[in-house]
């Protein structure tokens, strides 16, 4: 198999390993003489579907010049056309993650004109509990030890934070002033970073407000050279969501540091490669699914009493305490 075809398979390795229906694909590969019966048995002998797919890929990567085309055909015959498309030529320069970023970018829209028509309550944005959480990495975003990007895993969840820290007796501690990114939210955010950079560099007169998931919005005020990333919260009596204290404002310098940190984030969070955007999930194939998703529609399409009180109470406190807190 040619190197570029091997690379194409490797760059889609994670998706293939997770999604392939092994026995069907292996059956078609055998039928078209791409693999031998013995190889097929080796594949089937593996215990989990994950291992079977890994075995299949390791075999196919070592096969001859017809293997790549045969593999794509086998995927199509096994009703996995979308996997086959991942391997189509012309896209070979894009990694899985880059394709995902492109999809994410197509989902993030400027909401300035839409005025929050389609919003809905936020699910919990965990308050940082340093003691019970494991910090995987911490990247400084300024020269004053005040603003950090951190990756924190807690139970089986991983969140990325951009957060202000404050000095305390035993070192620096995270404050509530910051943004919590679930991994899908980070993906949405990362997909608009090039646009943010452009807007700041050109001091565009356009006002932007992107929704990146849950109650988090990224906004640029016209003529300004800063970008604001912030959790919003909609009190019951308010017509529109209001900004909370949970957020950060980045100037060009800090944004530059953030852009430099993106690769480090990837190295630290391999799980980003496996993130599925909810917009492409089964449940979102009809509009109701989207409207019921707290990431896509954080403030509800109609008022509901019982949604996510846990977090919203906290958010409300943040609004109320906004003046009393030390900046």
Using CA atoms, how far apart are residues 243 and 150, in angstroms rounded to an integer?
Answer: 22
Minimum Å gap between C-beta 283 and Zn ion is: 8
Tell me which residue of 21, 64, 63, 78 sits closest to 44, measured CA to CA: 21
214's torsion region: left (phi>0), alpha (psi -120 to 50) or beta?
left
Residue placing its CB nearer to Zn ion in the complex, 211 or 231: 211
Tell me which residue of 127, 156, 161 sits closest to 261, measured CA to CA: 161
Q: Give one DSSP letter per residue of 137-164, joined into a string.
A: EEEE-SSSS-EEEEEEEETTEEEEEEEE
Residue placing its CB nearer to Zn ion in the complex, 17 or 103: 103
Binding site for Zn ion (CB under 5 A): 278, 293, 295-296
Minimum Å gap between C-beta 293 and Zn ion is: 3
Minimum Å gap between C-beta 187 and Zn ion is: 12
Minimum Å gap between C-beta 295 and Zn ion is: 4
Residue placing its CB nearer to Zn ion in the complex, 125 or 295: 295
Minimum Å gap between C-beta 164 and Zn ion is: 29
Residue placing its CB nearer to Zn ion in the complex, 192 or 293: 293
Please state, in angstroms and as integers, the Cα–Cα distance from residue 72 to each residue in 32, 84, 102, 204, following that order: 12, 5, 23, 45
Residue placing its CB nearer to Zn ion in the complex, 278 or 316: 278
Tokens of 305: 């009493």
At residue 237, the 3 state secondary structure works out as: coil
């Amino acid at each position: 198999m040619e190197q570029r075809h091997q690379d194409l398979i490797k760059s889609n390795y994670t998706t293939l390993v997770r999604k392939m229906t092994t026995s069907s694909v292996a059956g078609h590969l055998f039928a078209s003489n791409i693999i031998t019966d013995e190889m097929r048995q080796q594949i089937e002998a593996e215990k989990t579907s994950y291992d079977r797919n890994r075995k299949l890929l390791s075999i196919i990567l070592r096969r001859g010049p017809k293997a790549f085309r045969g593999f794509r055909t086998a995927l199509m015959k096994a009703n996995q056309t979308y996997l086959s498309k991942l391997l189509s030529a012309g896209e070979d320069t894009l990694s899985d993650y880059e394709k995902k970023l492109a999809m994410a970018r197509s989902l993030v829209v400027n909401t300035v004109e839409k005025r929050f028509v389609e919003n809905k309550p936020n699910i919990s944005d965990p308050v940082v509990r340093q003691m019970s959480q494991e910090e995987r990495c911490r990247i400084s975003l300024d020269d004053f030890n005040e603003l950090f990007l951190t990756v924190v895993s807690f139970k089986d969840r991983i969140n990325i934070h951009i957060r202000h820290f404050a000095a305390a007796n035993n070192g620096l501690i995270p404050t509530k002033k910051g943004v919590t990114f679930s991994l899908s939210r980070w993906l949405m955010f990362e997909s608009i970073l090039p646009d943010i950079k452009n807007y700041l560099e050109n001091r565009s007169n356009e006002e932007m407000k992107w929704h990146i998931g849950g109650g988090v919005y990224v906004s640029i005020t016209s003529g300004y050279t800063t970008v604001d990333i912030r959790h919003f919260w909609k009190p019951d009596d308010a017509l529109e969501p209001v900004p909370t204290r949970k957020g950060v404002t980045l100037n060009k310098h800090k944004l530059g540091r953030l852009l430099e940190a993106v690769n480090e984030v990837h190295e630290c969070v391999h799980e980003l490669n496996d993130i599925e955007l909810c917009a492409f999930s089964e449940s979102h194939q009809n509009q109701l699914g989207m409207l019921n998703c707290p990431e896509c529609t954080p403030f509800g399409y109609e008022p509901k009493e019982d949604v996510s009180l846990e977090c919203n109470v906290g958010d409300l406190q943040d609004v109320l305490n906004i003046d009393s807190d030390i900046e």
